[in-house]
């Protein structure tokens, strides 16, 4: 494989070199631009003449398109029935009637609004279909607009083609890929002479895009043989690679043309470029072809587009708000945490960040106590034998930090589960002990590429609020129901709403169908119960479970209505089997000393097994001997609610925009004197609050009182207490509330005893609202 990759890369690089040479050879004087089309740096808006490959592609396209159109004209016309969502049936003609005809027949505005057609949704024939492409047979038809997830993807994907066309026209570049992404799209390309895209290119590219949009270039679809594709894209090494790699010999695939751009693409697209009314380039970055650092370095241009101005403005406003809330920015301003190049992806929590961290942790420990969880501590590094038994060595080793200890391979743990299996299995277990809810705040490491690291969102070192529940099959429903209650308790504290999704048995699953069916039925039961109790609807995600068990994904929504997946509830039939975990059922007799003594031998054999595991793993696991009579295998439930503390703190920082609820806040109270004479009283108040475990700071610097108040306001202290002679005489405090504008000008004077009591109550009740 390595050789093949090297060859491909070499081919790619050689071609790029040739291309660069031919680019250079072009006489610069020939590059003429239209009047007024020069850009700021004096370079023309577009290459003139255009890159030679453009004409080459168009010639092949036109020739084959004419042939194709002739073939289509020969197709027999038949009556077809097109059924709409409301049940209405339209009669049309095969190879003639298009979804666009149906839409226009209903109303012009419906047609204008529709981005893409979806045929036969929910059947094996389900497919997205270009609006103007004639239907070939009877079908169910849906017309999707931009607000539909699929419609948005098609809209943004089509926008990427426009960006590709503009880039070719400006740079004469080799395009690579142009997919839609979560918040827009990008196009990846190689510029001649390995040049980089500059931010000064944005405006000119947007100018070219405007003209493309004005032209309303139609997206034309055409199916081509692999040979024709290789000829059409012969000057583009990346497309060559993709064609050779992805398209089987003797098969056809499609290209789409809009204006001078012809791109290898499965489609579908909007009908014409005029649909992309609002377009903006957001940023650019460098990347590697196929994401491999050994390949060519490429340039990515990111953009976003919308069908109208309002949506664009709303999006830009949202981005502005998100930037203000960026946890990396607030983390610096509030001195919560930082990162250092000597240990990328491993966070340094500063004292204030650590207060948040510990408060979140203490809250969970309190909940664990109430909910019958038991906390354990387990090692950070293990011999690879453990990871071979768990299967991580075979499936996950690239994501682990591995090293040698006394000539044997070891790894830092990326998760706690295998260690917890050792804890469960280290002595005989009885059904009376179940369920065991084993909690661990252990430190985990995952080997993320340094380029993928991002603030607290993507780290190498983290701690989870990890728990593994070992229970009997009969206990699953009850455990899941309790977990939903736990989720509601925790997320409610932060004002998050959440959604649930059940992923069921995939192909290539492990274990017996009957076990899966039972488990899925139990999860469904728990989910329905949750919904019936007003917990909100849940969604089914068929076939998307892990191969070792069904799972429930939980998504929370933050103040900017962004979705995050933090929690998961994952049933696991596999690990208990791999570790041969068992418990005594009510019919069991304890093992004799002799039987128990045989155990170490079994364990040794187990460690010899991984070689087979790698080959026919599933088979081997299935062959794991069943527990002896009177014993049964526990089910394992992996579950986390915060997910990782690091990521959760990042999410909370942005959700609250740094305005922490009192109970988590590292800056709860600032005490400020009216004049230096009351400084001792300021210190007295601080001591009183600190004695209650409240985070109270004082400012007895030489600044003016107004300046001190202003500074404390900017630092987002929940409360500012200002004291003067009067407050000192009456043992009182003047309190300003961060979230109450009225109290900012002149706070409320409250007896000190009462202030302390109220603050303690606010903290202990963990209320979201900042009010005493």
20 conformational bin, left if phi > 0, alpha if psi -120 to 50, beta if neither: alpha
> Could you give the CA distance from residue 399 to residue 635 in angstroms, rounded to a whole number?
26
> Could you give the CA distance from residue 740 to residue 772 in angstroms, rounded to a whole number?
11
> In terms of CB distance, is 638 or 695 closer to Zn ion?
638
> In terms of CB distance, is 175 or 678 closer to Zn ion?
175
> In terms of CB distance, is 265 or 733 closer to Zn ion?
265
Residues 141, 146, 152, 156: is their CA dihedral positive or negative?
Answer: positive
Catalytic residue flag (residue 464) = yes
Q: Are strands 89-93 and 79-84 parallel, antiparallel or unpaired?
A: antiparallel
Catalytic residue flag (residue 74) = no
The site for Zn ion (CB under 5 A) is made up of: 265, 417, 638
Q: Of 638, 639, 655, 738, which residue is the catalytic one?
A: 638
| Minimum distance from residue 256 beta carbon to Zn ion (Å) | 5
> In terms of CB distance, is 162 or 664 closer to Zn ion?
162
DSSP 343: S
> In terms of CB distance, is 363 or 470 closer to Zn ion?
470
Q: Of 551, 667, 695, 708, which residue is the catalytic one?
A: 551
> Could you give the CA distance from residue 304 to residue 282 in angstroms, rounded to a whole number?
7
Q: Which of 447, 435, 372 is nearest to 411 (CA)?
A: 447
Catalytic residue flag (residue 347) = no
Q: Which of 159, 204, 163 is nearest to 41 (CA)?
A: 204
| Minimum distance from residue 510 beta carbon to Zn ion (Å) | 16
Q: Which of 695, 692, 637 is nearest to 664 (CA)?
A: 695
Q: Are strands 408-412 and 461-463 parallel, antiparallel or unpaired?
A: unpaired
| Minimum distance from residue 447 beta carbon to Zn ion (Å) | 18
Q: Which of 421, 212, 236, 455 is nearest to 326 (CA)?
A: 455
> In terms of CB distance, is 23 or 180 closer to Zn ion?
180
Cis peptide before 49 (omega within 30 of 0): yes
| Minimum distance from residue 265 beta carbon to Zn ion (Å) | 3
Helices 476-494 and 513-530 pack at an angle, to 10 degrees, of 40
Which tokens belong to 231?
């000829």
Burial class (CB in 10 A: 0-12, 13-18, 19+), 72: exposed
> Could you give the CA distance from residue 743 to residue 735 in angstroms, rounded to a whole number?
7
> Could you give the CA distance from residue 245 to residue 249 in angstroms, rounded to a whole number?
10
Q: Of 220, 299, 464, 668, which residue is the catalytic one?
A: 464
> Could you give the CA distance from residue 13 to residue 180 in angstroms, rounded to a whole number?
27
For residue 96, give the 3-state DSSP assignment.
Answer: coil
DSSP 676: G
Catalytic residue flag (residue 395) = no
**Residue 708, phi then psi, degrees to nearest 5:** -65, -40
Residue located via tokens 């300046």: 707
Residue located via tokens 């497919």: 127
Task: Compute the CA torsion angle 52, 55, 59, 65 (nearest 10 deg).
Answer: 130
Q: Of 466, 553, 558, 572, which residue is the catalytic one?
A: 466
Residues 211, 212, 218, 222: is their CA dihedral positive or negative?
Answer: positive
| Minimum distance from residue 639 beta carbon to Zn ion (Å) | 8
Contact at 8 Å (CB) between 540 and 520? Answer: no
| Minimum distance from residue 461 beta carbon to Zn ion (Å) | 17
| Minimum distance from residue 219 beta carbon to Zn ion (Å) | 8
Catalytic residue flag (residue 374) = no
| Minimum distance from residue 415 beta carbon to Zn ion (Å) | 5
Catalytic residue flag (residue 468) = yes
| Minimum distance from residue 431 beta carbon to Zn ion (Å) | 22
> Could you give the CA distance from residue 590 to residue 596 in angstroms, rounded to a whole number?
9
Q: Of 420, 468, 639, 763, which residue is the catalytic one?
A: 468
Which tokens belong to 214?
């004005």
For 175, the enclosing helix (H) or strand (E) is strand 174-175
DSSP 625: P
Which tokens belong to 223?
């199916």
Q: Of 152, 161, 272, 446, which residue is the catalytic one?
A: 446
Q: Which of 743, 735, 729, 748 is nearest to 672 (CA)?
A: 735
Catalytic residue flag (residue 446) = yes
Q: Edge-to-edge strand order for the sheet containing 114-119?
A: 89-93, 79-84, 139-145, 114-119, 127-129
> Could you give the CA distance from residue 336 to residue 334 in angstroms, rounded to a whole number?
6
For residue 457, give the 3-state DSSP assignment.
Answer: coil
> In terms of CB distance, is 263 or 558 closer to Zn ion?
263
| Minimum distance from residue 158 beta carbon to Zn ion (Å) | 7
Q: Are strands 696-698 and 669-673 parallel, antiparallel or unpaired?
A: parallel
| Minimum distance from residue 264 beta carbon to Zn ion (Å) | 8
| Minimum distance from residue 333 beta carbon to Zn ion (Å) | 35
Q: Which of 156, 200, 247, 261 is nearest to 42 (CA)?
A: 200
Q: Which residues are catalytic?
A: 417, 446, 464, 466, 468, 551, 638
């Amino acid at each position: 494989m390595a050789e093949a990759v090297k060859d491909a890369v070499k081919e790619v690089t050689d071609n790029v070199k040739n291309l660069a040479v031919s680019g250079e050879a072009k006489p610069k004087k020939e590059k003429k631009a239209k009047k007024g089309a020069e850009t700021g740096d004096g370079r023309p808006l577009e290459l003139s003449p255009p890159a030679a490959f453009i004409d080459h592609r168009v010639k092949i396209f036109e020739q084959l398109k004419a042939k194709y159109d002739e073939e289509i004209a020969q197709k027999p016309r038949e009556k077809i029935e097109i059924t709409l969502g409301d049940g209405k049936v339209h009669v049309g003609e095969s190879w003639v009637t298009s979804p666009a005809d149906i839409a226009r027949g209903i109303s012009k505005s419906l047609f204008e609004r529709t981005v893409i057609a979806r045929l036969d949704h929910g059947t094996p024939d389900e497919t997205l279909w270009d609006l103007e492409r004639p239907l070939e047979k009877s079908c169910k038809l849906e017309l999707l607009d931009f607000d539909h997830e699929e419609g948005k993807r098609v809209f943004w994907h089509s926008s990427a083609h426009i960006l590709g066309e503009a880039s070719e026209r400006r740079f004469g570049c080799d395009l690579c890929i142009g997919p839609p992404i979560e918040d827009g799209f990008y196009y990846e390309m190689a510029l001649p002479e390995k040049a980089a895209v500059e931010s000064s290119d944005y405006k000119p590219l947007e100018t070219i895009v405007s003209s493309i949009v004005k032209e309303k270039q139609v997206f034309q679809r055409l199916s081509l043989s692999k040979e024709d594709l290789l000829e059409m894209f012969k000057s583009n090494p990346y497309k060559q690679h993709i064609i050779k790699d992805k398209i089987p010999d003797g098969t056809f695939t499609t290209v789409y043309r809009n204006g001078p751009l012809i791109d290898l693409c499965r489609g579908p697209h909007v009908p014409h470029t005029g649909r992309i009314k609002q377009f903006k380039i957001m940023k650019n970055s460098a990347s590697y072809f196929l994401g491999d650092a050994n390949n060519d370095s490429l340039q990515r241009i990111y953009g976003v587009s919308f069908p109208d101005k309002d949506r664009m403005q709303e999006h830009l406003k949202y981005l502005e708000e998100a930037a203000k809330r960026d946890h990396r920015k607030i983390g610096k301003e509030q001195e919560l945490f930082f990162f250092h190049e000597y240990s990328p992806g491993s966070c340094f929590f500063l004292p204030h960040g650590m207060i948040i961290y510990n408060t979140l942790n203490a809250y969970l420990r309190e909940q664990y106590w109430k909910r019958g969880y038991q906390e354990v501590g387990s090692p950070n590094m293990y011999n690879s034998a453990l990871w071979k038994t768990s299967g991580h060595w075979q499936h996950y080793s690239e994501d682990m930090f591995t090293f040698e200890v006394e000539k044997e391979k070891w790894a830092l743990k990326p998760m706690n589960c295998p260690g917890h299996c050792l804890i469960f299995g280290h002595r005989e277990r009885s059904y009376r002990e179940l369920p065991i809810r084993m909690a661990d705040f252990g430190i985990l490491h995952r080997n993320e590429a340094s380029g993928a690291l991002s603030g607290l969102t993507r780290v190498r070192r983290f701690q989870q609020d990890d728990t593994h529940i070992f229970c009997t099959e009969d206990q699953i429903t009850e455990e899941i129901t309790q977990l939903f209650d736990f989720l509601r308790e925790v997320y409610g504290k932060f004002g998050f709403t959440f959604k649930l999704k059940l992923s069921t048995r995939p192909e290539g699953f492990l274990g017996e169908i009957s076990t899966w069916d039972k488990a899925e039925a139990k999860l469904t039961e728990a989910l329905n119960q949750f919904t019936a109790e007003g917990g909100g609807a849940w969604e089914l995600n068929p076939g998307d479970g892990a191969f070792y068990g069904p799972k429930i994904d939980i998504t929370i929504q933050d103040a900017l209505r962004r979705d995050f997946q933090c929690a998961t509830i994952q049933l696991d039939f596999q690990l208990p089997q791999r570790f041969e975990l068992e418990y005594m059922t009510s019919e069991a007799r304890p093992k004799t000393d002799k039987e128990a003594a045989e155990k170490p031998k079994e364990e040794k054999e187990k460690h010899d097994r991984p070689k087979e595991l790698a080959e026919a793993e599933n088979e081997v696991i299935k062959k794991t001997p069943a527990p002896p009579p009177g014993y049964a295998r526990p089910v394992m439930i992996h579950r986390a609610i915060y997910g990782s503390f690091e990521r959760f703190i990042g999410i909370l920082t942005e959700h609250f925009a740094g305005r922490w609820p009192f109970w988590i806040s590292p800056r709860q109270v600032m005490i400020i004197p009216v004049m230096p004479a009351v400084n001792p009283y300021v210190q007295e108040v601080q001591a009183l609050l600190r004695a209650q475990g409240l985070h109270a700071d004082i400012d007895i610097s030489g600044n003016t009182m107004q300046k001190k108040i202003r500074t404390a306001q900017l630092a987002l202290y929940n409360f500012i207490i200002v004291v003067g002679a009067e407050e000192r005489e009456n043992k009182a405090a003047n309190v300003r509330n961060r979230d109450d504008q009225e109290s900012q000008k002149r706070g409320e004077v409250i007896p000190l005893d009462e202030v302390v009591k109220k603050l303690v109550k606010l903290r202990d009740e963990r209320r979201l609202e900042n009010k005493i």
